[in-house]
Amino acid sequence: MLGTYAGPPLSNDDQTGFYDLVLTEAFRRIGHRIEIVNLPAERSLLNADRGITDGDFVRVAGLEKVYPNLVKVPEKIIDFEFVAFGRNPELRTDSWAALKPYDVGIVRGWKILEENASAAHSLLRTDDQWQLFKLLQNDRTDIVIYSRFEGHALLGAMGIEGAKALEPPLAKREMYLYLNDIQRKLVLPLAEALRAMKTDNTYQALREQALGPYLK
């Protein structure tokens, strides 16, 4: 079982999100089936570290230094864009330092945001992405920071009008699957399977299938 905080269109209950499809195929290629469970970001990470689940995705590199029971699968799943969403197009978000004048919302457990968004005028933490975008919907914060694809999906699903992604992205990071150390033997085979999927265009086909409307 793998945990994730990701939501549509990257992961969803019927496991047809982009991450779901990619990881299901990668595990299939090495002879394993997976179950994916959606959890709050902090709990998903802790469950993987404690061995309650077999792993967690998607996460930035370097978490193994803080969570010693986790092992990174050394082939990225995606280049992840951390984007600010807000109603005022005049807001500047071209650097972490530019957040200083603003009230900012993030999801608790997103380590890169907890470390870099602390310069904001105020920093509100929520347990999940729905609570996060409620802050924006109810004008309780100037901006919220989330992933580009999921953020666009949430704006539509929640009917939040007048808000948009602010450019440029605050950061772009390679994101990975982490497994609990008990599953270490799967790490290199999974990395090889992911690389093969990119070479034989399976990865690109799944990306278009799951994210097509958001790529235009």
2: β partners: 36, 55
Q: Which domains does the chain have, with CATH numbers?
A: 2-78+173-214 (3.40.190.10), 80-172 (3.40.190.10)
pLDDT (tens digit per residue) in 58-76: 998 999 999 999 999 999 9
Q: Has residue 115 got a pLDDT over 80?
A: yes
pLDDT (tens digit per residue) in 179-197: 999 999 999 999 999 999 9
CA distances from 18 to 35, 52, 178, 207 (A): 15, 24, 17, 6
pLDDT (tens digit per residue) in 125-151: 998 889 999 999 999 999 999 999 999
Q: Has residue 92 got a pLDDT over 90?
A: no
- Model confidence at 41, pLDDT cuts 50, 70, 90, reads confident
Strand positions, DSSP E, 12-98: 36-38, 55-60, 70-72, 78-86
- Model confidence at 216, pLDDT cuts 50, 70, 90, reads low
CA distances from 76 to 2, 57, 89, 129, 204 (A): 16, 10, 32, 23, 14
Q: For residues 139 and 50, what is the distance between their CA atoms, to the nearest angstrom? A: 37
For the residues 6-19, what does the mean pLDDT come to? 93
